[in-house]
Structures are given as structure tokens and as C-alpha cells.
Amino acid sequence: MAVRSCLDALAYDVFLNFRGSDTRHGFTGNLYKALHDRGIHTFIDDEELQRGEEITPALQSAIEKSKIAIIVLSNNYASSSFCLDELTYIVECLNRKDLLVLPVFYNVDPSDVRYQKSSYGEALAKHEERFEHNMEKLQKWKMALHQVANLSGFHFKYGDGYEYQFIERIVELVSSKINRASLPIADYPVGLDSQVLEVKKLLAVEFDNSVHMIGIHGIGGIGKSTLARAVYNSIADDFDGSCFLENVREKSNKHGLKHLQSILVSEILRDKKINSASVEKITSMMQHRLQQKKVLLILDDVDNHQQLEAFKPYWFGPGSRVIITTRDKQLLASHEVKTTYEVKELNKNNALQLLTWKGFKTEIVDPSYEEVLNCVVTYASGLPLALEIIGSNLFGKSIKEWRSAINQYKRIPNNQILEKLKVSFDALEEEEKSVFLDIACCFKEYKLTEVEDILRALYGDCMKYHVGVLIEKSLIKVSQYGTIKLHDLIQDMGREIDRKESPKEPGKHRRLWLWKDIIQVLKDNTKFVSLSVLNFDWCKHLTRIPDLYGLPNLSELSFQRCQNLITVHNSIGFLHKLKTLSAVGCRKLRSFPPIKLTSLEKLELSFCSSLGNFPEILGKMENMRELNLLHTPIKELPLSFQNLIGLRGLCMTNNEIVRLPSSIVMMPELTTISASGLKGWQWLEQEEGEEKVGSIVSSKVEYLRASKCNLDDDFFSIGFTRLAYVNQLDLSNNNFTVIPECIKQCQLLQRLDVRNCKHLREIRGIPPNLKYFLATNCVSLTSSSISMFLYQKLHEAGNTLFHLRGGRITERFDHQSNGPSISLWFRNKVLCHDIAPCDNYTTVFSPIVLINGNQYSFAFELCFSIVNGKGNETYILF
């Protein structure tokens, strides 16, 4: 057999080292054939290569590139200097690389090899005469023989058995070593290496001699099995035996758990006859014979407790590792698998790389494909299964075909992807399936609490349990902000399942989410009396909300961000069970119909940038709690607004409202008004048609924000006097010149903010229970007016924290001391000391403050306005 000219480029499973004249045409020739017949790539050298004095670079390369070296130590082996040179090089490779060396003592005693006795001693004595001037070579040979004789191997002696059976045992061992180290993984293992390292850290193979279990979990198609195979390939050689049981769910259903147990024992003990053993014998072997083995076991795609119970970790020896892949995280928890790893989606770069390899078999792609490739990556959302299937299906296709295909996938998901993902859905109970389909079709990105409230009417108190099951089975997630998350393709899978129930008659669906289907159903007046939630959010093609009189049980209606919506049907105003109505971000919506929604709790009309008028309220609405009117061009609120008798919170930020009826603060339940950035604010006297409010009746408003509303001194005249219960008042960035004495009537006011009121010149009154008074950057407040104010009011205000535009500290206080510690006196009382000096714009300090004999300690900011490098203006905080 001639040596291949491309020998240097080849990698071998096995390298055979032997004495040709002893065994080439007998034992070694038969061993080579048996290995070759099992598909094991084996190197056997040609006699021509042994005529020289030194082994060739080609042979050295073959040794280096082999996984296993088999040394056939026969009677005349040591007489060949060529064999000994090969052996020496093999031992060198053993010491510096991952090479498995198997000695075969073929009718020789291992001790003769170890100590160079009998034929080995005689051969080395002759070599000593021949190499008397190269004793270093002789010494290397002796050391190599001694080292290889100490390795675990095979011993054959004439008369002890059949040679073919002996060869079979060698081939079985080699086969197990070769096979276990080369499980197939993905063609393009993009992004896999980093995850393998993370799992290996969790396994701690080198540092923990206990039996250790870990779980790898995640959605279908995410790459759990691929990751497990890669980990297996990386660590299998560290164990006495290893077994990868793939598709446990499918194979246990088809063949039973006994079949899987027999595979495990057979592979670990390397005995094929075990496959036919009884259940009792298999169990006994697992409990007794495997306890002496350090085992690596992979249980791939597990979906129930019985499958885990069939492989108890205490049946395996010290240092064993069991890796379980599953879609069900709860299954791991119930089996007390505390160490788990969740497989992550591919990031955009890795996803694009995988798609490119699958779709083009190369990393370099025509730039004209860039846009469509990015579309596919977005659609696949990091799921390797989807990227591989789509890339393979579109290999060699044109850009137009790629675009057409992705549009089709968006409309109807690919069956190969769908079936893989559907496994998790099929494992659910019937009611769990229904909850999942509700969420997938209608509630992605919703707050979990909202969804539970909506669906509790259908599923009762079981909702929390059902949601927990869906999380455990990797079908949904809940973000740190409490919103429901679904992988895009999981959502597509759920919607496709629902669509298939009645693909041509959407009116028979329980759930509707496509705007075209919804409108068609409504136009057809299909019986949808029980429909409770209708969501048109982000419908680009929706221009009008149709007649909804046929939906009397509707409790939630949303058409947010419908950017082409122009009109809304009047029927919306008379849906008496409607609780939530949202039209946020409908930029072209010009008007809203009158409403008489007796059950409505929340109305959202924010960011409707063409909505000029607030809808008329046709009757008392006592359940209304919250109204948001952010960034709308509404100029005034109608008198009928007071029919919102249950309103508690009103937000009118950045509107064009210039007039408000004074009675607004007298609405019976209103406690919060946030009105920042109005074009103007002018209180109106009671007008005809308003409910009369007696002058002694006070408003319930506790929080009033009227920042940047062009307020002047008239603000404090009419409506303001009714704010007896206000607790927080934000009047910052306005135009009034005086804080009048009447503000003292606000006896519950604790926080007053007039920052950046640049026309403010005088402060005539301070509420008696004020805790925070913020008046920084009020540039018209002179130092003298502040000093007079402080002198008159400070001791009356008690523990008030003042933020004032300052002059120098010395202008505020009777006395002050300098040095590392500063003390300030006001009316002969120490107010503040231990203020750390600073040279920055802002610093934080913790002064000890004495007010009326009481000591307080706070952390405050001391701010300096720097002019010419010196601090000459201070904000005093105490």
C-alpha cells in the first residue's frame, strides 16, 4: 500500500505502530481491516518507509494528527530502531497533546517491556553496541518503553482465546473513544463557543468530585441540543464513560424508557448484549455497575418527570455529570436541578453571519442582498432554527425571491419552523393552550397585571397558575417592568394555530387581531356579542373606526398609533361596559364623538396632534378615574366636563388650553391636576350652566402642577382661594410678580415650587406647615428682599427647607465663623455648622442644623455660581 502524497494534509483516527515482520500479515493486518470496516480512519505505514535510519516528516505528521496511537508490542518489536523511534515520538506527543495511547502486549509480558527483559533486553543490548556513541537515543528508547508499559492496554497470549474476539474488544474501545468525541453539531456553529465556555464553568468538571446536574433550557429551535453536543465533545474524554441520549421525549414515547436505559448501560459498559437484557437486569446494572464509573450523561429534550426518574444521579460514580436539555424550566426545579443555563438568542451580527453561510455558503455576499438579509434577521429574532431553515430554502435564489418568501413567512409561518415550536404548545393542558393563544394573539407587550385582570373573567383565579406554566415552558417571559414578552416566532406560531381553526371565516374565531379581519367581521355584523377586548393598535391602514353598536360587552377598546385614522364612529360614545378607551398617537384624528360611557375608568387622548376639541360629556360618569390629554391642540374644556364626577387625575401637559373654568378644581373626586406647558391659564368665573359652588366649599385637589403656563398675578385671585387642601404646588417657570399673603390659607401645603419665576419680586406669605420652599433662579428677587423675608418669616416657618437665590452667607445671618468648620447664627442661635469647604460647582454636605433648639442632620447640595473663578453667589439650604 503506497503512502498518499497528501499525507501531511490528512487527519487520522488511529495510528498503528508495529514490527512489520512480526505482525503485518497476521494480527496487525487483521486489526487494520477490522478498524477500516468500522469506518475508523486508520494509518498503517508502508515497508518502504522503514528503510531509512530516521522516521520521515510525513510519519511525524500522521502521528500528530491522529487521535489514538495503538502500539503493537510483539516479541521482536524492540529489535527495530525504526519502531523505537516512532514510539519515542508518540510518547513525546502524548506528553504535549491530547493523544490516547493504547499498548497491545501481543504474546509478550508487560514486565519484559517495562524493565527491558527477555527479547527486549537482548534487542537493547545489541542497540547499545551499535549506538555506543549516541547513548542519549538509547536512553530515550528505554524510557519510552517503560512509560508505555505502564499505560492501561490490552494483553493477548496464545491459547487464552480467539484472536478475532480480542481484536473486536480493541475495535469496540476505539470506536467508543472516536464516536464520543465527534458528535455532529451545527454546520456553522456561530456564537457557540462562548456559550460552551459558560456551561463548562457551571459543570466544574475539574474542581468538583461530586455528582453534578445542570439544566439547559429555552424555547424550541434556540439551540439547546446543539449546545449540549458541543459541550459533550469538549469534555467527554474526562470521563470513564459517556452517553448522549438524544430526543428523549420522542424515543421514550416510541420505545419506552427501558430502551433508553439499556442504551446508556451498553455504551458506558461497552457491551452490546445489554440491549436484550430484562428490565430488572438493566436497573440492577445501573444501580451497581455504574456506581464505579465517572459518567457523562446527556438527556436531550426531556419533557416529563418519568424520564428524569429513570436516570437517578446517585447511580453514577463520583465526578459524574448529568446535563438535561428541556423547554420546561419547572421540570428542572421539581427535580432539584439547581444549576441552570438559559440559551440565548443570537445577536444581530451572529444571526446575519449564520444566515449568510446557510443562504450563500460563504461569508461574502453581494451588497444588493443587504436589505433583504436584514429583514430576515429581524423576522427570525435571533432563532437559529429559523435562520437555518430560511437560509437553506432560499439558497441560490434571487433578491426578488428572497423578498417574496419573507413576505410569505410573515403572513403564514413556515411549516418546518412552526412544527418545531409547536411542540411546547402541544404539551399544554387545554385551558393553558387557550390562555397562551389569548396572549399570543392580543396581549404581547401588555402589563401582566392588566392581562390577568382581563382574562380572570374567563379563567377565574387559575390565571396566575396558567401564566406560570407558560413561563416555565419558555413560551412567554415577563420583563423586569412587568410586561409580557414573546419571541416573535412564538407569537406567529400561536396566531397561526388560531387562524387555522377557521382560515376562511374570521367571524368564527374566538380571537381577532388582524385589522382586516376585525373590520370585515364588523361590516358583516357577525355575532360577536361576547367580545370584550378590541385592539387596533398600530394599524397603518385604518382610517375610520366602524360602527360598534353590535359589541355591547366591549370593556377595552384601543387604537393607539393609528397614524391614518381620521374619524371615529359615534357608537363608541355609548358602549356602556367600556372601561378603557385609548386613542394615543392618532395624529390625524380631528374630532371625537360625544360620550356617555357610564363604566369608563380611563380615557387616553394624548398625542392626538390634530384633535382640536374635547368631546362633550352627555351625562354623569362617576367611574371615570383618569384622563390624559398630553400634547394635544385642545384650547378649552367644555362646561360638560364637570360631568366627569369620578375623575381623580387630570393630565394636560403641553396643550394649547388658554382658559379653564374655575369650577374644575371643585370636581368632587379630583385630587391631582398636572398642567405643564399650557399656552395660557385663565381662571373663569362661574358661568351659566356651571354648578354653583359656595365660597366656603374647598377643593379636594392635593397636587397641582401648573408649570410653564404663563400664569400672572390674577392666578391667585379667583380659583386659587379654593385650594385649601393642596399639599404640593408647582408654579415654576411662570410670570407672576408676587406670592400674596392669601397663600397662608393653604394650611396643608408642604411643598411650594416657584423656581425660574423670573418676574417674582416679593414674597408676602408662607403657609404655616410648609416643608420645602424652592425659589432658585428667581432673578428679580433682590438680596434685600430675601434678607427681609428670611428675617420676618424664617423663625415662623419651623423646619422649612428653603432653596433661595442667594447673596453672600454673611448677608443672611447675624454672625458667622470661618475655618475648617463654619457656624452660622440667626437671632443668636446656632443654625448650621460643620459645612465642608469646596471649590466645585456643586457639592454634597451633611450639616448639623439646630432649629428652635432641635437638632437635625441632613444631606444637602451646596451650589456655587462661579464668577471669575470665585464663588460669590450661594444657594442656602437649611
**Active-site residue list:** 86
Work out whether strand 829-833 and strand 824-826 pair parallel, antiparallel, or are unpaired. antiparallel
Beta bridge partners of 772: 751, 801
Q: In the numeric block, which cell numbers belong to residue 745?
A: 390659607
DSSP letter at 768? Answer: T
Radius of gyration of the chain (CA): 42
Q: What is the Cα–Cα distance from 116 to 146, expressed in whole angstroms?
A: 8
Contact of 732 with 758, CB cutoff 8 Å: no
- Using DSSP's 3-state secondary structure scheme, residue 526 falls into coil
Q: What is the Cα–Cα distance from 655 to 671, expressed in whole angstroms?
A: 20
117 to 103, 111, 146, 432, 848: CA distances (angstroms): 17, 8, 11, 76, 93
Which run of H or of E encompasses 73?
A: strand 66-73
- Using DSSP's 3-state secondary structure scheme, residue 386 falls into helix
Q: What is the Cα–Cα distance from 780 to 761, expressed in whole angstroms?
A: 5
Beta bridge partners of 626: 602, 649
- As a three-state string, the secondary structure of 770-792 is CCEEEECCCCCCCHHHHHHHHHH
Beta-carbon count within 10 A of 432 CB: 21
Q: In the numeric block, which cell numbers belong to residue 662?
A: 374655575
Place of cell 363604566: 599
Q: What is the Cα–Cα distance from 763 to 800, expressed in whole angstroms?
A: 15
- Using DSSP's 3-state secondary structure scheme, residue 415 falls into helix
CA atoms within 13 A on the CB side of 663: 20
DSSP letter at 806? Answer: -
Q: What is the Cα–Cα distance from 723 to 734, expressed in whole angstroms?
A: 19
Longest Cα pair distance anywhere in the chain, in angstroms?
Answer: 131
